[in-house]
Structure 1
């Protein structure tokens, strides 16, 4: 008789993470004919120093309050980093998802003024579901239609990615590089939405459902249950006539905002990114938007699909306000 599959978030996360760990990563011998993806339950239990029955109870949701010591042992067995461990603790110690301010899709007056005064810092504000709540004019030169207030960043990113991939040339090294980088960025965005989002939020569920129905890549990544905050990195954007430029970015949570985040782009002094930002800052707003247009005709053809999905995202935001 097969083991019943559990439906608790904690059990789903443990099962997904153990399927990502390969036996050789934890010093286990791989015998011929092994068909189990990742680790078996009993292998996780042994690595964590607990009985197989007790681990099974946790994964099936029959033990919903494992101790911190048990969670630490599981984190070591599953090779979880600090962010993943904190997410594991949150799943094991669920608390009401409290928003300290009304979740109406708006930003505070102070945040709006800050964006407006950053004349040499492209910046935008998102919520936990990656809806774009606000942005300053400089972002128009970088977003390529993705960082538009009132739309969902993950939805528009997936639509433009899908069209670019469909029209790309697998033999073109630049196309392959762009797709690889894009998929890495999408993975980070998905992990951030899972990490910050409220699993009971109807809007989050609607976004996940829409992306799952349209994109195999989203379904694959979402099933991996990776959860990490979106903190910092490098984003490549096309700025006409300068070409592709790598910008550094940093994301900070806005205190007492109910789960809002401000992301800013910058470049080291003298870098191509710093020069591109100075160039954009010297342009009138409409010219900034034109400079942010992507040179690829395949991405330009993505815009009707992006507009349609963006309209859906706006409807989702309005219905949840």
Structure 2
């Protein structure tokens, strides 16, 4: 598959999601087509049907900025979706994104920062949502899901998480949109994640087929493995410049909530465990495949 094929697949998926009424087209009786017809998209974008057909067939790899803007309006694409479209359209050679560094090459200051946040769970993620590094608080909090080598998207489909996660369906949609937006479609690790989840999780296959693409900067998780029982925590992502798509994520509780209280208790436990160690425990690390 080349970038032209990826762009074609994206346009087709988005076309099939838009209903005629969404763009002011009267639905005729007994209409059977899913979403919009190709002719309708071409007319809305003010381009020829033949030109749009070549795009959807992957036979035209580098549409102009004007064409992309017109198609974005026709397909009701937001700013994030358009950024993704431009990435597909203007990168003819593989890979689309710069390779991430190996885990052991991370900036030492970044690794130290995780441990300086001794009362804040913090992890480093790669663009496939694999956990690369985790501090002690995160390792103590995450029921194993924050252990280096674990994948946060795959963790969402664990039965325990599915049953306790707030607004699980919405969280899955956000996570998969971020996975598509941040990852490189030619990355073998991404293909591995998609193949595994597509085989065993119908909900994954349904949502992934939408081709939603947008970053995720913040959100909410629920953790059940605390002294206070299930708690809701907020998270915030920070991009790590110069590290090939790595992100630093921190978790926190809103002041006065059970989440904040539970993190305070967890910090005391972690501090006590550290104080009783004869030597510091090294930060767990996972080295992704080159």
Question: Aligning the two structures, in what range does the TM-score lie when normalised by the shorter sequence?
Answer: 0.7 to 0.9
1:189-229, CA deviations, whole angstroms, 9 ceiling, x for partnerless residues? 22212111111112221221122122111111111111111
Q: Distance between the aligned counterparts of 2:126 and 2:106, measured in 1?
A: 10
Give the TM-score normalised by the residue count of structure 1: 0.78
In structure 2, the residue matched to 1:20 is 17
Match of 1:45 among 42, 45, 52: 42
Deviation at 1:104, TM superposition (A): 4.6
Q: What SS does structure 2 have at the residue aligned with 1:16?
A: helix
1:70-89, CA deviations, whole angstroms, 9 ceiling, x for partnerless residues? 11111111111111110011
Residues 1:78 and 1:192: Cα distance change in structure 2 (over 3 Å): same
Q: Distance between the aligned counterparts of 1:105 and 1:223, measured in 2?
A: 35
Q: Distance between the aligned counterparts of 1:132 and 1:66, measured in 2?
A: 36
Q: What is the correspondence of 1:1-321 to structure 2 with a 5 Å cutoff?
A: 8-94=5-91, 96-99=95-98, 102-104=101-103, 107-158=106-157, 160-161=158-159, 178=164, 181-284=167-270, 320-321=289-290
In structure 2, the residue matched to 1:3 is none
Residues 1:47 and 1:98: Cα distance change in structure 2 (over 3 Å): closer
Residues 1:246 and 1:216: Cα distance change in structure 2 (over 3 Å): same
Two-structure CA RMSD over aligned residues (Å)? 2.5
Unaligned runs of 5+ in 1: 1-5, 166-174, 288-313
Q: Distance between the aligned counterparts of 2:189 and 2:215, measured in 1?
A: 19
Deviation at 1:153, TM superposition (A): 2.2
The answer to whether the Cα contact below 8 Å between 1:106 and 1:133 also exists between their aligned partners in 2 is no
The answer to whether the Cα contact below 8 Å between 1:48 and 1:76 also exists between their aligned partners in 2 is yes
Q: What SS does structure 2 have at the residue aligned with 1:247?
A: strand
Q: Distance between the aligned counterparts of 2:161 and 2:231, measured in 1?
A: 18
Give the TM-score normalised by the residue count of structure 2: 0.85
1:202-260, CA deviations, whole angstroms, 9 ceiling, x for partnerless residues? 22212211221221111111111111112111222225332332222111111111111
Q: Distance between the aligned counterparts of 1:285 and 1:153, measured in 2?
A: 26
Q: Distance between the aligned counterparts of 2:53 and 2:178, measured in 1?
A: 28
Q: What SS does structure 2 have at the residue aligned with 1:70?
A: helix
Deviation at 1:182, TM superposition (A): 2.1
The answer to whether the Cα contact below 8 Å between 2:103 and 2:132 also exists between their aligned partners in 1 is no
